[in-house]
Amino acid sequence: MPDLDLSADVVTLTRQLVDIESVSRNEQAIADAVEAALSSYDHLSVLRRGHTVVARTDLGRGERVVIAGHLDTVPVNANLPSRYEERPDGDLLHGLGTCDMKGGDAVILRLAAGISEPVRDVTFILYEAEEIDSEFNGLNLLSQSDPGLMEADFAILMEPSNAEVEAGCQGTLRLEVRTTGERAHSARSWRGVNAIHGAAEILGRLNGYEPRKPLIDGLEYHEGLNAVGISGGVAGNVIPDECVVEVNHRFAPDRSEAEAEAFVREFFAGYDVRLTDSAPGALPGLDLPAAKAFIEAVGREVNPKFGWTDVARFTSLGIPAVNFGPGDPMLAHKQEEFVPVEHLRRCERQLTDWLTGVVG
C-alpha cells in the first residue's frame, strides 16, 4: 500500500495523491492509503464505506462543517505521473487530478491531520466515484447508508474554483430529440423520408437559442442548451429512418428540474423528446448565516458556479454549501490539467485560519 505523509507539505502530499492512479471504480488503493493515514490521528474518528472515508472531530462545538472532496479522476490521458514546473510567475503541479481534485483532497488531509482542536467540529469526507453516474457516487451512497454523517450547519466542497468561493450550481438535463422517417434505397430516395434531413429544424432551433442569464443573490448565472451528440444512418445507400440529437441543458438554480424539463419540451415542441438524465441546481444560499460567515472569514469574491457539483446534494438536504478549492475549473477533464502551487497554499492557509479561529 502506498504511504501518505500527512505531515508533509501540501504540494508533496498532492503529488503523492496524484501518483496513486484512481480512475473512477479503481479507488481501492487511494482509499486504503487515506484511511490508514487518517487512522493514526487520535483526534479523529475514522469510518470507511466502500471506498469512501469519513473522519470526524467530536469536540461538542456549537457548529459542524462538512469539508468534502472526491478521490476519483476521469480516465488517464498520458498525464501521469505528476510533474512539477518552476515558473517565474508561480510554480505549477501538472498531472491527472492535480486540479480535479487531489489538490483539494491534499488540503483536506492537511487540515484533518494538523488541526486537533478546531473551533468548529468538522466532518471530512473523501469519497469515491464522483466522475461517473450518480448511482456510484460515494456522497450519494453515504447520504443513503449513513444520513447522520452528512449532518452539518455548512458544507464546503473543495472542487476547483480558482481558490475563490463559487456559490450554488446550475442544474443539468440530458435529453434525446428524435426525428423519424422511412427507409428507402438511396437510389430512389423519393420513396423514403430522410430523418437526418428532418433534424435540420432541431439544429436550427438550437442555433436560435437565447440563454437566460438570471441574477440570483447578486450572482449572474448563464444557461446553456447544446447538442452534445448526433447520430443517424443505416448504411451508405439507405435513406435513414431515425436521427437522434443528444442535448444537454444547463439551467440556473432559480428553476426546478420540472421547470427546466417543461422549457425543453416547449422548445422542441413537435419532436419526440426523451429525458435521459437530470440533476437539480443549487441556489447560492448566500443569505444563510453560515455561508455569510464563511465568506466574510475568507474575504474572497464570490462567483456563480456554472457546472453541476455535489454542492447540490447538500443544498437538497437543507445544508448551505459552497465550492472552494484550488485549480481552475476550466482545466478539469483536460489532458493538460495543473494546479498552481499558490492555490494549494492559499486554500490551506485560509481554511486553517477559519478552523482555528484566527478569522471568522
Tell me if 33 sits within 8 A of 121, measured CB to CB: no
Question: Toward a copy of itself, which CB reaches closer, 41 or 308?
Answer: 308
Q: Helix, strand or coil for residue 171?
A: strand
Residues with Cβ within 8 Å of 202's Cβ and at least 6 positions away in sequence, in order, are 177, 179, 227, 245, 268, 271
Question: Toward a copy of itself, which CB reaches closer, 87 or 188?
Answer: 188
At position 174, the amino acid (one-letter code) is R
- Backbone φ and ψ for 174, nearest 5 degrees, come out as -120, 140
* The only residue of 69, 168, 326, 329 in contact with a copy of itself, by rule CB under 8 A: 329
Give one DSSP letter per residue of 271-303, joined into a string. Answer: SEEEEEEEE--B---TTSHHHHHHHHHHT--EE
User: Is residue 250 involved in binding a copy of itself (CB under 8 A)?
Assistant: yes
Closest contact distance (angstroms) between CB of 140 and a copy of itself is: 15
The window from 8-16, 108-116, 119-127, 325-333 that contacts a copy of itself (CB under 8 A) reads 325-333
Residues with Cβ within 8 Å of 127's Cβ and at least 6 positions away in sequence, in order, are 51, 52, 53, 68, 69, 70, 71, 137, 138, 139, 142
Closest contact distance (angstroms) between CB of 220 and a copy of itself is: 13
Q: Helix, strand or coil for residue 161?
A: coil
- Backbone φ and ψ for 206, nearest 5 degrees, come out as -60, -40
User: What is the distance between the alpha carbons of residues 233 and 229, in angstroms, rounded to a whole number?
Assistant: 14
User: Is residue 236 involved in binding a copy of itself (CB under 8 A)?
Assistant: yes
User: Is residue 248 involved in binding a copy of itself (CB under 8 A)?
Assistant: yes
Q: Is 72 a catalytic residue?
A: yes
* The only residue of 13, 96, 177, 184 in contact with a copy of itself, by rule CB under 8 A: 184
Question: Toward a copy of itself, which CB reaches closer, 234 or 358?
Answer: 234
CA distances in angstroms from 232 to 1, 189, 195, 197, listed in the order given: 48, 16, 8, 10
Tell me if 280 sits within 8 A of 171, measured CB to CB: yes
Q: Which of 267, 260, 156 is nearest to 214 (CA)?
A: 260
Contact code string over 153-172 relative to a copy of itself, x by CB under 8 A: -----------------x-x
User: Is residue 92 involved in binding a copy of itself (CB under 8 A)?
Assistant: no
User: Is residue 273 involved in binding a copy of itself (CB under 8 A)?
Assistant: no
- For a copy of itself (CB under 8 A), the number of binding residues is 59
Closest contact distance (angstroms) between CB of 13 and a copy of itself is: 25
The window from 12-20, 36-44, 109-117, 200-208 that contacts a copy of itself (CB under 8 A) reads 200-208
Q: Is 63 a catalytic residue?
A: no
User: What is the distance between the alpha carbons of residues 221 and 334, in angstroms, rounded to a whole number?
Assistant: 23
Q: Helix, strand or coil for residue 25?
A: coil
Closest contact distance (angstroms) between CB of 75 and a copy of itself is: 7
User: Is residue 180 involved in binding a copy of itself (CB under 8 A)?
Assistant: no
User: Is residue 196 involved in binding a copy of itself (CB under 8 A)?
Assistant: yes
User: Is residue 74 involved in binding a copy of itself (CB under 8 A)?
Assistant: yes
Residues serving a catalytic function are 72, 130
The binding site for a copy of itself (CB under 8 A) comprises: 74-75, 131-133, 170, 172, 174, 183-191, 194, 196-197, 199-200, 203-204, 206-207, 211, 222, 224, 226-240, 243, 245-246, 248, 250, 277, 306-308, 329-330, 332-335
